[in-house]
Every structure is written in structure tokens, then in C-alpha cells.
Structure 1
Amino acid sequence: MRKILVPTDFSENAFNAIKFAIDLFKYEISEFYIMHAYLDEIYNHEDLVEESDLEKVSETVSNTSKTSLKNTLEAIKAISPNPKHTYNIISAKNLLIDEMDTIADNKNIDIIIMGTKGKTNDKKITFGSHTLQVIKYVQCPVMAIPENYKYTQPKHILFPTNYLIPYKRRELKLFCEMASTYRAIVDVLYISTSDKLSLRQKDNQKFIKEELHKNTLNFKLVNSKHIINSIYQYIKENNIDMLVMVNTRHSFLEDMIYQSTIDEFGLNLDIPFLALQNIKRY
């Protein structure tokens, strides 16, 4: 059974991510956890003036959260009465990142799916701060869905890699099964100024071939030093409809996230983006 966590702030963008998750896994027996963490909302509430107001405001925000989650669940069942899917709603007096990390660990979540922006994110920023924080700190694969993205089956997926990291079998299996469901073609892109691979890189390339064996793989080379520009150009020139990258030390994605500020994250994506975490999970 696939276990999927979808956080919501009850925005249109968050519900769009929920719809995407339902469509993406419509053929799989899946358990969804729809979660709202509201601790920030308590402290930002307009009625919280004195410390004595805290209990009353907390109760108000908690009740609103639970009611909104129930309404969201009714809306989900109205648009997708899929017998393969079951749903759980979680209202948590906690910070978003902390609660998601706890649920991912306790429920053994396979993948988190979320919108790239929430209610408060700057419209000029491609990835909202919450999305990047989740990718950086929550120990679980994360798929980010762009604002207003309309679901299409993933048919052509880009997987950039430098072949320097030993991939984790569980995460590649998730990728493999998700892509093979739609008979997607996967372009494995190596961006380098050299076309030669070390023995270590060759071993990691072989592991990718073995773990993605259900998929049609195209191994590509782009001769360049500019990773972000090369990925973005490849997406546009090859009609890519999903980007998959790995977030770990010495990876392309780490270079992008950790060497730039959140507001300057340079990959202007208008397609779904799956960040694998390359951690050992059971």
C-alpha cells in the first residue's frame, strides 16, 4: 500500500496538490494523510493580544482546522470516490516541518505531495519557503506541484544526476513504479565538461539501470558547467513533464538549494518536481 502525506493550508493551491496526488496514484491502493499544522496561526491570530488570550485563540484555531479538514475530505470524496483510496485527516498544534517529519517517520510515509506556494508566499518566488524547507529537512521524498498546474500523466521524466552518490533502493523503487504505471520515458541526464565516468560513477549508473528496469531509459550527456541553466533548457527543449532529483550531499539539487537563498532558488519550474532524499528508510 502506498502511503501519501499531503499538507494543506486550505488554499486553492493546496487543494490542487491534493487533486494531483489522487490522480497520480489512482491505480494504486493508497492511504492518504491530509494534514494541517496550525501553531503559527495561533501566534499570528489577530485576537491574540495578551497571554491570557492564548487558550481561547488556540481552541478557536483548532476548531477551525478540524472543520476545514472535514470539509476538505468531503470535497475529495465528491471529486474522486476511488475505492482504492482511504483517507485520514490530521489537525496538529505544531509547526509544519516538525509535524510532517513526525508523520513521515511514524506512518512510514512513501511520499509527500504539496503545492509550491501557500496563502502567504510571494507570487514572484517559484518555490515557497515552506516547500523548500520540507525538501531540505523532512526525511521523505517530496513532490512539489506548481501553482495552477493541471494534472497530466507523466510521460517524459527528466532525472539529472552526477552519478556520484549511492542511491537508495526504496526511493528508486518509488520512482520506478510511479513512472512505469504511465509507461513514462526517463531521460537520465549527466551534466559535465567531461564525458568520462569514474568506476564509482559507472557502478552508480549500473544501479540506476537495475532499479529503474521497468522503464525506458535514455542516458544523456550535456557538456556544460551551468547545471541550473542546462536543466531548465533541457526541460523546455524536450517537453519534459516531470523533474526528479536527489537531495543529498554532493548532488545537483544540494548545489542549487544550499548555495542560494530560498528567494533566489533559480529553477523556474512549471512542472511537478520530485525530490528524493537518498536516506535509508524501511
Structure 2
Amino acid sequence: MDLSPRNTPAPADAGTVAEQLAAVVVEAGGVARDMFARGITSWSKHNDSPVTDADIAVDTLLREKLGALAPDYGWLSEETADMPARLERRRVWIVDPIDGTRAFMAGGPDWAVAAALVEDGRPVAGALFAPVTQELFLAAAGRGATRNGAPIRASRAQAVAGARADGPAQWLARVDRLGTLARVPRIRSLALRIARVATGELDVAIAGPNGNDWDLAAADLLVHEAGGRLTDLDGLQLIYNAPVPRHGALVSAGTGLHPSVTEAARRDEE
């Protein structure tokens, strides 16, 4: 099928897609919680990261539900073998069935189901659902971001000293040279870590290298629509659905802190 721009159907309204994603991730989160309650089976993938039968079940549900909404869109998921055909699509569903699998396995609250629609390399609709805390985050391009229906806004903090921060210790230490950060307990889901910047509960979130599209796409749109930023260490926004869907170190923060934090994090890389 020729999916060049002239033959690609007009996109659905981003707000409508976000609502569709919301229904799907809430259903998926319920499946994961029910499976955990009954007892899950886990094993290690080729990169030694854990996976459970709940990850696979949720992946299957997401693909069935989202595929039914738009069969011609591409697909990229942590738990599905990558298919090069996605590179031929302008629009791609990018999902993480359970972001924070270790937290999920341990019975912790810091895991989530993440799903986004990416168009021409950037997310236009995203949903993130944290089943334990019953938080549903939604964003649509140009429409703002919400948590459980209430608008959210990134922090307007200006000072590094005392800024609430989460991320790998060695990266936060670079920023501490500008002023000592107030470190919060580690949020094991990267998507949720960035979502906490979107709500203003965190002023700064840092991700070490090797974050993947599925960890980031929905949260990227959330923080952007909440008035914050997520970029690489050069201050560039992320492009999704590349041949290798993986990214280097990243910084998310409100606009007041992002430039100085990014510069501090980058300094030792030069």
C-alpha cells in the first residue's frame, strides 16, 4: 500500500485520538493489575531486562484495540518484534505495555501503561495510565495536558538549588555543581518520571542513555503540552520512529530550568 503523504488519509482529531487512547490504556492497566493479583510469570529478555506474562498480554490487547482503530498505521512496542514496515508509515502507534516492569513485579506504584500516536516523527496524542495510583494522563497536540481531567502545568522554578529532581545519580551530580538539587525517591517508570515534570511535582527529570521511543513518546507530549521541555543534551527535541528507536541522555524540566540543567548535564560529555 502506498502511504505517501498524498495518499495518506487525513488524521483523526488529536483530542479524539487521545480519548481513544485513554480508554485503551485504562483497560490495559486493569488487565495487568488483575494478572498481578492472580500471580505472574517472569523471565529475562536477551538484554537481561525482565518481562512478564502480563507485559505480553497487555501488548496483545493494545495491538488489537489500536489496530482496530487504524489498521494502516505502523506499530512499535517494547514487546513486539520490530517490523521495518513502520518506517514507511507517517503515523505510528508507539506503546509500552508496562513501563517500569521491575516496579510492577515488586508490587510498587511506579509503573504505567503508555501509548502515543506519532505523526511525521512527533507525538500528536498520548495517554499514560498508572493503575496503582489511578492516574490517567492525557495530551493532544495544541490542546494541553491533563491528569484525571484536570489541567496540569510544568514547574516555573528558576533556581537549581532545591529543585526537586529524579534521575541517575551520576547525571544529577553534574547538575549539583550549580546548586544542590532536592532528590526525590527514584521513579522506576521513565514515562512517569517525565509525567511528574508535566504536573510540576518534579522540577527536573534526567534519563541516562538508551531510553527507547516507547518509554518516551507519550510522556514527551505530556510535558510539552504542560509547558515544559524534553530534549537531548544539545537541546533538540526527540524524533520518533527512526530506524533505531533509541535515544541518548535526556533532560526534562520547565522552561526556567531546562537551559541551565541541560548545559550542566552536557558539560562532561564535551
Q: Comparing both chains, which one has the higher relative contact order based on Cα–Cα distances under 8 Å and sequence gaps of 6 or more?
A: 1
> Which structure has the highest strand share of the two?
2
Instruction: Compute the TM-score of the two structures, normalised by the length of structure 1.
Output: 0.29
Larger Rg: 1
